[in-house]
Amino acid sequence: MAKKFIDIMDTTFRDGFQSVFGARVLMDDFLPAVSAAKEAGITHFEFGGGARFQSLFFYLNENAFDMMDKFREIVGKDVNLQTLSRGINTVTLDTGSREMIDLHAKLFKKHGTTTIRNFDALNDVENLKYSGERITHHGLKHEIVITMMDLPLGCKGAHDAAFYEKVLREILKSEIPFDSLCFKDASGTSSPQKVYETIKIARKLLPQDTHIRLHTHETAGVSVGCYLAALEAGVDGIDLAAHPVSGGTSQPDILTLIHATKGKDYDLGGLDPEKILKYEEVLYECLKDYFMPPEATKVNPIIPFSPMPGGALTANTQMMRDNNILDKFPEVIKAMREVVEKGGFGTSVTPVSQFYFQQAFNNVMFGPWKKIAEGYGKMVLGYFGKTPVPADSKIIELAKNELKLEPTTRSAIDIADEDYSKSSEFARSVLEKEGIEATDENIFIYLACKDKGLNFLKGHGDIKVRKGGNSNQTPIKQGDYTIVVNGVKYNTSIAYGHDANIEVVSVFKEGENAPKTRTISENDILSEIAANVYKVLVKPGEKVKAGQPIVVLEAMKMEIEVVAPKDGEIKEVFVKVGGVVESGEPLASY
């Protein structure tokens, strides 16, 4: 009797990179490994979308569409290249208009995609209807998704096999066109038994020729058990990665599953372990200079209590490294449990996982529930769709008051359509004002990446990649800087390279004393958090009112307004856009 063929999707170049390096891997560094993977017999790759769209513009100064084209050129026309889409959020954290959702499918088809895996983090089937329709309209295969996780201990009301059956029945009733179904557990917290029961139910409800897949992560330590349970229940495909971006926060290794299924009646992709070994050797050489975050290589026993996806975990720890606040991570991950419990049980996968993390971050940095993260607040108020269960009523009231928004049951995509800043017309006007050609690609880049996308298109992109063993090294750009030391400002220039002939001289004239260090005064407006300076909204001499925003900081993909504590006149502004501030550092003074 022939063994059952199991399709293997290699997630190395999308979810593997995201889960281990926070998606920050340069194209020219990894493309040789793509050739090696093809030679090893891989015929199904996850190669883009998800965080591997925005991150190329944010951190790598690369165009994601160019990367996709080069990937397709290497693997040839017959290989199944798959991307990840977040339903009405496509490849962003925010909702998109119908124009943007259609443009996403159109462009991803144009740039080499075969299949789009399409999910909604709230399992709100309404959010999958239009995106699914456009994916199939543009000639792509549509892999529809039910998102999974385990709830923190003591929580009930969603995320059991009965809940997933309900979602699947809603999908079938909606008549959304799809070619395959994936159960996606980004946090890797589902138990093997629940996986088995869920897939058994799906196999009974769906036509027998329907392709069913499981996607999970090793973060909680049960991924191999879940895959074996899924295979026993009748799954047709699973997702695996290659060393050194396998295991830990990523998918289990291809070789690990080949070993785990020895003696069983499964043929994992027709893959030869010896060829996979050679592919992994090439991949290791490609990535050996990259800093490997230690948290990316570990199983974390707290994850079932605070279900943080592997792909979001390292992206967030990398951002915390950027802001020198990585020491806060254990507190934030612990605080996430309460945030999940009170947030309506949306699945912890982007964008919802980021909302959970941002709110937990705020609860640690500013005090419990003192500052509502915009994404989390909008989610509990209904602006991203219907949560599986109602969020905590007190949290809804806090979000309503702080964000000055009423709870809504309106369609999230209808709300997005009414936002002019999410329209192609608005994007085109911004590009034309900057003298940038308004191609479909550039319009989508701006809509998906906003100011950072515009900076890329203007040639002002930045590269923030960690290589070597220094985990605390923050990438620095060349250029002129103002350094503030104890309130005293010094001008300096930074350039790459080393000049041994530089003469070190005093900046003070002979007999001149150094200026006295500046002490913090009651007139200073201080940063409450280590962050990047995103916008400076006031100038010296400008009069402000209490509560008026004066500076916008950026941390953990959040824009954090710093407001004037009282009426008065701004005497000095100490920061500039693009700078970095520490907690307690003066931003401006009266």
| Closest to 223 (Cα-Cα) out of 158, 293, 300 | 300
Alpha-carbon distance of 210 to 221, in angstroms, equals 29
Does a structural domain hold residue 326?
no
| Closest to 191 (Cα-Cα) out of 167, 159, 166 | 159
Does a structural domain hold residue 256?
yes
pLDDT of residue 272: 98
Give the chain's mean pLDDT.
Answer: 91
**Tens digit of each residue's pLDDT (9 = 90 or more) over 244-288:** 999 999 999 999 999 999 999 999 999 999 999 999 999 999 999
pLDDT of residue 472: 45
483, containing H or E segment: strand 479-485
* Mean pLDDT for the stretch of residues 20-45: 97
Torsion of CA 431, 437, 443, 446, to 10 degrees: -50
Alpha-carbon distance of 363 to 342, in angstroms, equals 13
Residues 167, 236: one domain? yes
Does a structural domain hold residue 58?
yes
Task: Answer whether 388's CB lies under 8 Å from 146's CB.
Answer: no
**Tens digit of each residue's pLDDT (9 = 90 or more) over 548-577:** 999 999 887 778 889 999 999 999 999 998
Last residue in a domain, options 517, 541, 574:
517
Does a structural domain hold residue 394?
no
pLDDT at 56 over 70: yes
pLDDT class of 318 with cuts at 50, 70, 90: confident
Alpha-carbon distance of 268 to 7, in angstroms, equals 7
Tell me which residue range forms the domain holding 52.
4-298
Does a structural domain hold residue 421?
no
Does a structural domain hold residue 401?
no
352-366 vs 310-322: helix crossing angle, rounded to 10: 40
Looking at residue 503, the DSSP 8-state letter turns out to be P
Residues 486, 554: one domain? no
pLDDT at 504 over 60: no
Residues 584, 475: one domain? no
**Tens digit of each residue's pLDDT (9 = 90 or more) over 403-425:** 999 999 999 999 999 999 999 99
Indicate which CATH number applies to the domain containing 558.
Answer: 2.40.50.100
Maximum Cα–Cα distance across the chain: 94
Residues 150, 251: one domain? yes
Q: How many domains does the chain have?
A: 3
**Tens digit of each residue's pLDDT (9 = 90 or more) over 83-109:** 999 999 999 999 999 999 999 999 999
pLDDT at 501 over 90: no
Tracing tokens 């996968």 back to the chain, one arrives at: 349
Alpha-carbon distance of 280 to 278, in angstroms, equals 5
Alpha-carbon distance of 558 to 538, in angstroms, equals 20
pLDDT of residue 322: 78
pLDDT class of 521 with cuts at 50, 70, 90: confident
Does a structural domain hold residue 238?
yes
Task: Answer whether 150's CB lies under 8 Å from 190's CB.
Answer: yes
Task: Answer whether 557's CB lies under 8 Å from 522's CB.
Answer: no
Alpha-carbon distance of 538 to 531, in angstroms, equals 18
Residues 179, 206: one domain? yes
Does a structural domain hold residue 354?
no
pLDDT at 519 over 90: no
Instruction: Please compute, for residue 330, the number of CA atoms within 13 A of its CA located in the half-sphere on the CB side.
Output: 2
Residues 540, 494: one domain? no
Which residues have CB under 8 Å from 281's CB, separation 6+? none
Distances (CA, A) of 575 to 549, 550, 556, 572, 580: 14, 11, 19, 9, 8
Cβ atoms < 10 Å from Cβ of 494: 10
Alpha-carbon distance of 203 to 213, in angstroms, equals 11
Greater confidence, 217 or 315?
217
pLDDT of residue 557: 72
Indicate which CATH number applies to the domain containing 293.
Answer: 3.20.20.70
**Tens digit of each residue's pLDDT (9 = 90 or more) over 438-490:** 999 999 999 999 999 999 999 999 899 989 865 444 444 445 555 655 445 55
* Mean pLDDT for the stretch of residues 583-587: 89
pLDDT of residue 351: 93
Looking at residue 510, the DSSP 8-state letter turns out to be T
Peptide bond into 304 cis (omega under 30): no
